[in-house]
Structure 1
Amino acid sequence: MAAIDANLAPPPPRRQTRPLSGGGFAWVLASALVAALVIAPVLALIWQAAQGSTGLWSHLWAHVLAPALGQTALLLAGVGLVVTVLGTGLAWLVAAHDFPGRRWLDWALLLPLAVPSYIIAFVYLELSHPLGPLQEGLRAMLGYSSPREFRLPDIRSLAGAIFLLGLVLYPYVYLPVRAMFAMQAAGLLEAGRMLGCTRARLFTRLALPLARPAIAVGASLALMETLNDIGAAEFLGVRTLTVSIYATWVTRSDLPGAAQIALVMLVVVAGLVACERLARRQQRFAGGAQRIRPLEPVRLAGLAGWGALGLGLVPVALGFGAPLIWLLSEAGSRIASAGISAQLWAELRATLCLAGSATLAVLIGGMAVSFAARLVPGRLTETLGRLASLGYAMPGTVVALGVLVPTGALDRWIDRGTEAAFGQGTGLLLIGSGVALGYAYLVRFLAISVGGVESGLAQIPRALDHAARSLGHGPGASLRRLHLPLLRPALIAAALLVFVDTMKELSATLLLRPLGVETLATHLYGEAARGSYEDGAIAALAIVAAGIGPVIALSRIGRAKPGG
């Protein structure tokens, strides 16, 4: 989410900035260490994949990769189409029209972001069950008495996965496209209107081409989230690359085979990033150096206005309202009958502990990378920053698999060393203590911290750095006494996003959590796998509640002042 608006703005012109003398080498070294920690899982993945035989590769291609690639390609194409059409259409509705409830709908359309994909699949599997409330209600309305007489198509299908993932991922397109429409010059659209264009032709021939870079940014982020999904795909019976990695590693105990599938997945991710970069190559066409007059929304009165509001409320109701109501109902019934179990409290504590420690590590790593670039600007620190941000594009299963190889090797080395020195081994010290999982969180979410800290540092004049240096303060003292107080809003925002994303992360947590440790996300996954949906409702509700605050804050980004 944090990467959406950052990708919209063209890169600022490069300036030759005099590096600050003294102390910079230590920070560059720290930045290089953080970048190495991010790159290590990728290198380990390549090394592990090379351990597999040629026969293994041919077997994987015939029986695993080919079907998984086909399912993944269809899922990506379907989700991409749904989020592009839905996100772009809703963005134009809100940015170019004024109607009752528009200001409320403006931020409400982002609420589905608070519902992780595996939770919406979890909810709709119960809602759409042949004996569930939705089909029972429809049969009562239509006069049918049993599922044999009338039943809806099974949501456990590729089409169901496309529909549900599109419902929760369209805000990735809606947010940047809404901002792009709001920033477009009203004069351009007025010129088109003077040339005889209707409102529909203005959208298709002028506004839509100008918004293409924003659409590419949002769609690529939505597709990366689709690739990262494991819970919804598995619940709905879609065999994607992510599900295949999990099955090959956990079920078949075939680590080289899982690594080979993960490398194929990285190629798919690289292709998505390349397509997004290609689509944004001409993005400067959308802006100009002169001051522009923002787009004035057209007033929709009467039935047209209320119809627009109703149209906009449909995805909010399906992607957020219905799941929230069901979760509240089921969680309330469960608490009233059995209370909150001690196990769930333990899982909540484990979730908060893991998320809190991971957030602290991610903020420290992001500060090291960003402050090094501040002290010693140049190609080296810029490259280190890009390398440190690569993990955000890697799905959680790929990160987890890459982390397992070096931490497992280090665990074995520590175990042999302590056995030889003290006669007592340590076992899986790093994996069993949760350090490996924290490492995976660091790799996966470091880009959020780097982006947040860099944007905060950009608001601090460099004259303050030089003034602090002239008073005898080194980089560490300047950071502690000058930069950190000024960076507090940026750090809080980054910490909030990392904390919530860590709470929701399922793929890496599922694969690397210590034995006997459950989080809210893995508890929900286990309950859904067993079909006991009521027991998972409380955990799902806690995860959704944690995501609502950041989504509401995110809704303020890119909002046009004139039009509201």
Structure 2
Amino acid sequence: MPIIALVFSAFEMDQSGSFQHLLETVLLTYSLNTLLLIIGVVFFSFVFALPVAWFVACCDFPTRKILQWALMLPLALPPYIVAIVYTDLLDYSGPIQQFLRKLMGWQHYSDYFFPDIRSLFGAILILSLALYPYLYLLLRGAFLGQSGELFQAARSLGLSPIRAFIKVSLPLSRSATAVGLSLIAMESLGDFATVNYFAVNTLTTGVYDTWLELGSLNTAAKISSLMLLILVILITLENYSRRQLKVYQGKGATQTELGFVLLGWKKYAVLFYAWGLLFFAFLLPILTLLYYAYHYFEQSLNQSLWLFSLNSVWLAVIVAFLGVIIALIVNFYHRLSPGIFAKMTIRLSSLGYAIPGTVVAIAVLIPFTSLDIGLNRWLVEHSFSRVGLLFSGSLFILVMAYLVRFSAIAVGSIDSSLNQVSPSLDHAARSLGLSPAKTIRRVNLPLIRKGMLTAFILVFIEAMKELPTALLLRPFNFETLATYVYQFVSDEMIELAALPALIIVLMGLLPFIIVNRLMEKER
């Protein structure tokens, strides 16, 4: 419904002339910046993730067991938090440039050259550091699942380890690479806070500005539709590039059994690269936030922090709970009544996560604003008092947008767990006289409880971190931790943003550890 409403609204006549003005002035620049951002983040994420995924999956070196889960930790850090940390460190007034000026005797900015972090390239690097774990996770899983016998056969034919990796392992992981890079491209397309903080104008910032500053929902819908078109083109190109790709592997030795033992300079090079990546992507931002949170603890700890933390938690809990309910309904409908319609239901319910948060916000706002207008008009016509913005001006629309965006995570998690439950168990329960409802309650639900908990935690984490949707749709006098941090960041007050930012990270980190432990036990 939101996507249909968005497309219809985009084709309506623009009465304000805002879109025509943008088209003649800055829309081309916004589109070019968006394209360059996506290409850059995809490239650097691939460069960051590919080596560590291979080393962790197929090589033996000190601290490998720590790195295999630690390299996923940047997922708990929202990109805009990483952005404010690096801006504070690398700006003209930051400690690094101050140290260089003192060391070299420079007096003014014109005396030396230092790259500007507040730039398109800076945004690309920050987003790459924050998003590479998406590709790392998928590539590591792909390498672990590959048949080691194919690699050994390539080696026996005279290929060096590097050439065998390029000619055998990398092509076999193409599907995982394509999916991971697609996720990263979607996240880059939908990022708002990082590019806005770095003053890089993209289509996402265009949607935000046209709605909140120009007040033109129609223009915002047109730009959102353009982003949706870019998204469709990306997914289509990715699927088209793999249209004839088929991978068949035996069930021989896995890559982990290859166990290349790294010695000498190779060992130290891998350790330096892997731990260096983890340091810049996670440890340095966390240590910086801890430093500021400690020194500004009394100023940061106030009633507003507790109130907004509570708002974020209970909003995330509601969204996670409803997301799991939706996922259970969709998946069990498909299990009990398999067919084309059931498959379409699962696919349609999973589309929201691919759509940027700003686009989802505008797409949800359009139908519910129309519903509010129609409801109030009907009430007045029948001599009742107006109820105001019952849907579009309350928390209802925020919860609705979160569900459109994040239900896909719950659907995928529960679908994965349910696929491991053999249908023969359902048949046995039905043959013993249980109804479908009792079969679900007494057989299926106990067997997928870990998948349900994982789905709940993953949706909870995403809802806690979400910023663009909350900025556009939150009711008056309602703030979340993400919007609270963003206000301080916008005012260049990173010291006061550190403590609420750490709470967001902690809220994501603890559930992340729980999910990781569940996966280890399941394996």
User: For structure 1, which segment, 75-84 or 302-311, has the greater mean C-alpha deviation from structure 2 after superposition?
Assistant: 302-311
User: For structure 1, which segment, 415-424 or 542-551, has the greater mean C-alpha deviation from structure 2 after superposition?
Assistant: 415-424
Q: How many residue pairs are counted as aligned between the two chains?
A: 520
Q: 2:189 aligns with which of 207, 227, 241?
A: 227
| Residue 520 in structure 1 maps to residue 481 in structure 2 | yes
The one-letter amino acid paired with 2:497 is G
Cα distance change on mapping 1:550 and 1:220 into 2, 3 Å: farther
Give structure 1 stretches of 5+ with no counterpart. 1-39
User: For structure 1, which segment, 326-335 or 139-148, has the greater mean C-alpha deviation from structure 2 after superposition?
Assistant: 139-148
State how 1:153-552 maps to structure 2 within 5 Å: 153-285=115-247, 287-295=248-256, 296-335=258-297, 337-338=298-299, 340-419=301-380, 423-470=384-431, 472-552=433-513
Report how far residue 316 of structure 1 moved: 0.8
Q: TM-score normalised to the size of structure 2?
A: 0.93
Report how far residue 302 of structure 1 moved: 3.5
Q: TM-score normalised to the size of structure 1?
A: 0.87
Aligned to 2:41: 79
Report how far residue 396 of structure 1 moved: 0.6
Report how far residue 306 of structure 1 moved: 2.5
Report how far residue 145 of structure 1 moved: 5.8
Cα distance change on mapping 1:426 and 1:113 into 2, 3 Å: same
Report how far residue 442 of structure 1 moved: 0.7
Three-state SS of the structure 1 residue aligned to 2:296 is: helix
Show CA shifts across 1:101-132 (max 9, x none): 12112222111111111111121111112121
User: For structure 1, which segment, 132-141 or 367-376, has the greater mean C-alpha deviation from structure 2 after superposition?
Assistant: 132-141
User: For structure 1, which segment, 394-403 or 339-348, has the greater mean C-alpha deviation from structure 2 after superposition?
Assistant: 339-348
Give structure 2 stretches of 5+ with no counterpart. none
Distance 1:525 1:70 in 2: 26
Distance 2:382 2:321 in 1: 34
Report how far residue 152 of structure 1 moved: 2.2
- Is the Cα contact below 8 Å between 1:445 and 1:498 reproduced in 2? yes
Distance 1:290 1:522 in 2: 49
The one-letter amino acid paired with 2:366 is V
- Is the Cα contact below 8 Å between 2:89 and 2:95 reproduced in 1? yes
Which is bigger in relative contact order (C-alpha 8 A, separation at least 6)?
A: 1
- Is the Cα contact below 8 Å between 2:54 and 2:140 reproduced in 1? yes
| Residue 63 in structure 1 maps to residue 25 in structure 2 | yes
Cα distance change on mapping 1:146 and 1:260 into 2, 3 Å: same
Show CA shifts across 1:402-433 (max 9, x none): 11011112222333444556743221122332
Distance 1:271 1:339 in 2: 45
Cα distance change on mapping 1:137 and 1:97 into 2, 3 Å: farther
The one-letter amino acid paired with 2:32 is G
State how 1:26-175 maps to structure 2 within 5 Å: 40-53=1-14, 57-144=19-106, 147=109, 149-150=111-112, 152-175=114-137
Cα distance change on mapping 1:541 and 1:549 into 2, 3 Å: same
Report how far residue 257 of structure 1 moved: 0.9
- Is the Cα contact below 8 Å between 1:175 and 1:558 reproduced in 2? no
Distance 2:443 2:157 in 1: 55
Distance 1:149 1:304 in 2: 39
User: For structure 1, which segment, 340-349 or 171-180, has the greater mean C-alpha deviation from structure 2 after superposition?
Assistant: 171-180
The one-letter amino acid paired with 1:288 is Q
Cα distance change on mapping 1:542 and 1:366 into 2, 3 Å: same
Report how far residue 460 of structure 1 moved: 2.4
Report how far residue 70 of structure 1 moved: 0.4
- Is the Cα contact below 8 Å between 1:100 and 1:306 reproduced in 2? no
User: For structure 1, which segment, 546-555 or 131-140, has the greater mean C-alpha deviation from structure 2 after superposition?
Assistant: 546-555
Three-state SS of the structure 2 residue aligned to 1:179 is: helix
Distance 2:493 2:89 in 1: 13
Distance 2:122 2:93 in 1: 18
Show CA shifts across 1:165-217 (max 9, x none): 11111111111112222222222222222222222222222222222221111
Show CA shifts across 1:73-97 (max 9, x none): 1111111110112111221222232
The percentage of aligned residue pairs carrying the same residue is 39
Report how far residue 330 of structure 1 moved: 0.8
Report how far residue 58 of structure 1 moved: 4.2
What value does the CA root-mean-square deviation take over the aligned residues? 2.4
Distance 1:382 1:191 in 2: 40
